[in-house]
């Protein structure tokens, strides 16, 4: 069985994006949510995604936003180097569908899980997004918190869409997660950084290795789930 995909999120520096891409990750995320300590302005995103792609042409750029207002939608259009928009706020299925039609790129919807019942919301998005991303719910913070969803809540979670597990992902958690769950991909941010936005390449390399080892050791979902490089 193949390993799950791996996304490293919240980078701010093009050289670091190139280095992370060369480690063999599948996607790199940039935070476009004002107020986040990992925020990167629109004018800096093309350089970061360009460096990423020059280093590893198959690596995909993900732009993370939350509850974008209509006047901001133009900023989400292709041209900044991203192939995916990750919606990490309270976007309705209707808004996700509208953005998907308008932007012409993949849309991933983050669901922040506060209680097991929240997983049922996945069904509402199944026809209007390309993938789901599960993150822990934390009051007054949208993401990048390092908080985890209790793993027992996710047993039996098998949406029709590809799905990413986020929230406190680090190398030492990988064996425990992948023996119990089959996410399409893992998404890590604060667990692999020295300070917000500054990734620790040794921790990223350890995470890449842990994911590969877990893929060799046990059953996990295939990479061939329709997430081809752009
Ligand atoms: O990282 C941020 O600052 C951030 C801000 C606003 C929305 C999402 C954000 N990050 C996302 O959070 C998850 C998990 O992060 P962590 O590994 O628990 O630190 C990840 O999907 C990031 O894309």
Closest residue by Cα to atom 1, ligand 1, is 144
Q: Is residue 82 part of a domain?
A: yes
Residue with tokens 């997983």: 119
Q: How far is CA 188 from CA 10, 74, 135, 216, 222, in A?
A: 9, 27, 10, 20, 19
What six digits make up the tokens of 152?
């027992």
**Among 9, 113, 141, which residue has the most ligand 1 atoms within 8 Å of its CB, making it the best to mutate?**
9
Residue with tokens 């133009």: 74
Atom of ligand 1 nearest to the CA of 33: 6
**Among 39, 88, 134, 143, which residue has the most ligand 1 atoms within 8 Å of its CB, making it the best to mutate?**
143
What six digits make up the tokens of 69?
């207002």
Closest residue by Cα to atom 9, ligand 1, is 143
Q: Is residue 225 part of a domain?
A: no
Please work out whether the CB of residue 203 comes within 6 Å of at least one atom of ligand 1.
no
Q: Is residue 66 part of a domain?
A: yes
Q: Is residue 224 part of a domain?
A: no
Q: Nearest-CA neighbor of 28 among 69, 84, 67?
A: 84
Please work out whether the CB of residue 169 comes within 6 Å of at least one atom of ligand 1.
yes
Please work out whether the CB of residue 111 comes within 6 Å of at least one atom of ligand 1.
no
- Containing structural domain, residue 56: 5-217
Q: What spacing in Å lies between the alpha carbon of 227 and ligand 1's midpoint?
A: 20
Sign of CA dihedral 163, 167, 172, 176: negative
Q: Cα–Cα distance between 48 and 186 in angstroms, integer?
A: 21
**Residue pair 168/147 in contact by the 8 Å Cβ criterion:** yes
What ipTM was reported for this prediction? 0.97
Cβ contacts of residue 62 below 8 Å, gap of 6+?
7, 9, 27, 28, 29, 30, 82, 83, 84, 85, 86, 108
> What CATH number does residue 119 fall under?
3.20.20.70
What is the pLDDT at residue 225?
37
Q: Is residue 63 part of a domain?
A: yes
Q: Where are the beta strands (DSSP E) in the chain?
A: 5-9, 27-31, 60-65, 84-87, 106-113, 131-136, 163-166, 185-188, 193-195, 198-199
pTM (two decimals): 0.92
Each residue's pLDDT expressed in tens, for the chain with a length of 230 residues: 578 999 999 999 999 999 999 999 999 999 999 999 999 999 999 999 999 999 999 999 999 999 999 988 988 987 789 999 999 999 999 999 999 999 989 999 999 999 999 999 999 999 999 999 999 999 988 998 999 999 999 999 999 999 999 999 999 999 999 999 999 999 999 999 999 999 999 999 999 999 999 877 755 444 433 343 33
Q: Is residue 228 part of a domain?
A: no
Full DSSP string of 51-81: HHHHH-TTPEEEEEESS--GGGGGGGSTTSS
Please work out whether the CB of residue 29 comes within 6 Å of at least one atom of ligand 1.
yes
Structural domain count, the chain? 1
Q: From the CB of residue 13, how many other CB atoms can be counted at a distance below 10 Å?
A: 17
Q: Cα–Cα distance between 110 and 102 in angstroms, integer?
A: 19
Q: Is residue 12 part of a domain?
A: yes
Q: Cα–Cα distance between 81 and 89 in angstroms, integer?
A: 22
What is the pLDDT at residue 215?
78
What is the pLDDT at residue 1?
55
């Amino acid at each position: 069985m193949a390993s799950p995909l791996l996304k490293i999120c919240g980078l701010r520096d093009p050289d670091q994006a190139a280095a992370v891409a060369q480690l063999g990750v599948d996607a790199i995320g940039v935070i476009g949510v004002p107020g986040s300590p990992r925020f990167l302005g629109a004018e800096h995103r093309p350089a970061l995604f360009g460096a990423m792609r020059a280093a590893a042409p198959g690596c995909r750029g993900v732009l993370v936003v939350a509850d974008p207002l209509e006047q901001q939608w133009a900023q989400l259009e292709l041209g900044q180097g991203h192939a995916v928009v990750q919606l990490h706020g309270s976007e309705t299925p209707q808004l996700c569908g509208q953005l998907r039609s308008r932007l012409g790129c993949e849309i991933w919807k983050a669901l922040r899980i506060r209680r097991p019942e929240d997983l049922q919301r996945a069904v509402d998005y199944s026809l209007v997004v390309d993938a789901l991303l599960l993150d822990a719910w934390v009051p007054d913070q949208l993401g990048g918190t390092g908080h985890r969803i209790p793993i027992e809540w996710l047993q039996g979670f098998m949406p029709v869409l590809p799905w990413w597990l986020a929230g406190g992902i680090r190398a030492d958690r990988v064996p425990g997660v992948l023996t119990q769950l089959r996410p399409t991909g893992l998404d890590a941010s604060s667990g692999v950084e020295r300070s917000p936005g500054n990734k620790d390449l040794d921790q990223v390399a350890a995470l890449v290795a842990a994911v590969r080892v877990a893929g060799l050791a046990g059953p996990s979902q295939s990479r061939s789930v329709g997430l081809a490089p752009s």
